[in-house]
């Protein structure tokens, strides 16, 4: 009897193990196929929106939301295959969502910030911006973070909530921007001649716009002499080229024209005792 009972338990255990093993194998197959189908679906959605000339920012955001939603549905379907009630699972998700929402309120704030940026569109992929104190080109607006590449080629991730709640400077919205530089003159220099010379030379720099015209005016005075504000205008893509070329022209043009080098000067009066 003991041997028969043991054999019966072994057969029962083998049956359950085989059943569970087949379900696990099926779940793995479902997961692999489901992930592949999700990738196909996301690509189809993005391609359809791309044919409609939808902004790349919206494309990536919609793709992320679609992928997350379909992955959740896939997990629910696999759990349902194992016999777990989806209603119970939904209740667990709701309870977990409340707990996660309380613990990760900042993460949910980032999600909301990303949604607001997609709707209001203060920035988009490809814009050159300053957000949260970081300057760079926007490469992605994700579900929770915005990715920038700074001019020194550093990839920077910033939480969407911080981006949306902080000051945003978008340099790409307007067709041109101003380059702000200064030129120090000696006190004995002819400032009108210097102004005319710099306007002529800087206007000839490649990519400097003819309209608005180059501004060269006296900005302030110091112990050395007058300080000129030198302000050419250019497209955002040419900013640094115009910036460095203008500095070079200021140095070379004033030197070649014979303007005195600006040097601090003081007048010392000596009184001799009687």
Alpha helices (runs of H) in the chain, residue ranges in sequence order? 2-51, 56-81, 86-103, 105-120, 160-165, 191-203, 239-256
Is the pLDDT confidence value at 155 over 90? yes
Best-predicted range by mean pLDDT (6-15, 22-31, 190-199): 190-199
Pairing of strands 215-221, 145-149: unpaired
CA angle 110, 112, 115 (to 5 degrees): 110
The structure's pTM equals: 0.60
SS3 (DSSP) at 134: strand
Q: Mention every residue, 6+ apart, whose C-beta is less than 8 A from residue 102.
A: none
- In which band, very low, low, confident or very high, does the pLDDT at 37 lie, cut at 50, 70 and 90? confident
The pLDDT value given to residue 67: 80
Instruction: Kindly state the percentage of the chain with pLDDT values over 70.
Output: 80
Q: What's the token pair of residue 45?
A: 């959605």
Does residue 82 or residue 196 have the better pLDDT?
A: 196
Burial status of residue 93 (CB atoms within 10 A of its CB: 0-12, 13-18, 19 or more): middle
Is the pLDDT confidence value at 118 over 70? yes
Is the pLDDT confidence value at 95 over 60? yes
Q: What's the token pair of residue 241?
A: 């080229």
Is the pLDDT confidence value at 59 over 80? no
- In which band, very low, low, confident or very high, does the pLDDT at 245 lie, cut at 50, 70 and 90? very high
Q: Which CATH number fits domain 121-170: 1.10.246.90, 2.30.30.60, 3.40.190.10, 3.40.50.2300?
A: 2.30.30.60
All structural domains of the chain with their residue ranges: 2-103, 121-170, 177-256
Q: What CATH number has the domain spanning 177-256?
A: 3.30.70.100
170-204, pLDDT tens digit by residue? Answer: 999 998 999 999 999 998 899 999 999 999 999 99
Span 2-103 CATH architecture: Orthogonal Bundle (1.10)
């Amino acid at each position: 009897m003991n041997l028969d009972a043991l054999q019966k338990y072994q057969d029962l255990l083998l049956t359950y193990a085989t059943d569970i093993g087949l379900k696990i194998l099926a779940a793995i197959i479902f997961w692999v196929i489901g992930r592949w189908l999700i990738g196909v679906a996301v690509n189809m959605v993005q391609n359809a929106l791309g044919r409609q000339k939808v902004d790349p920012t919206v494309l990536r955001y919609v793709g992320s939301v679609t992928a997350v939603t379909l992955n959740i549905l896939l997990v629910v379907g696999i759990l349902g295959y194992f016999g777990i009630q989806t209603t119970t699972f939904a209740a667990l998700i709701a309870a977990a969502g409340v707990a996660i929402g309380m613990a990760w309120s900042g993460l949910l704030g980032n999600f909301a910030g990303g949604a607001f940026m997609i709707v209001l569109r203060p920035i988009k992929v490809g814009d050159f911006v300053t957000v949260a104190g970081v300057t760079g080109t926007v490469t992605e607006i994700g579900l929770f973070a915005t990715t920038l590449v700074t001019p020194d080629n550093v990839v920077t991730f910033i939480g969407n909530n911080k981006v949306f709640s902080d000051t945003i400077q978008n340099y790409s919205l307007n067709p041109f921007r101003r380059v702000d530089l200064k030129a120090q003159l000696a006190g004995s220099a002819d400032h009108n001649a210097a102004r005319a010379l710099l306007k002529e030379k800087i206007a000839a720099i490649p990519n400097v716009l003819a309209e608005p015209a180059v501004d060269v005016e006296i900005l302030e005075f110091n112990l050395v002499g007058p300080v000129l504000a030198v302000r050419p205008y250019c497209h955002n893509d040419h900013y640094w080229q115009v910036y460095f070329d203008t500095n070079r022209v200021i140095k070379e043009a004033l030197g070649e024209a014979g303007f005195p080098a600006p040097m601090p000067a003081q007048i010392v009066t000596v009184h001799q005792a009687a």
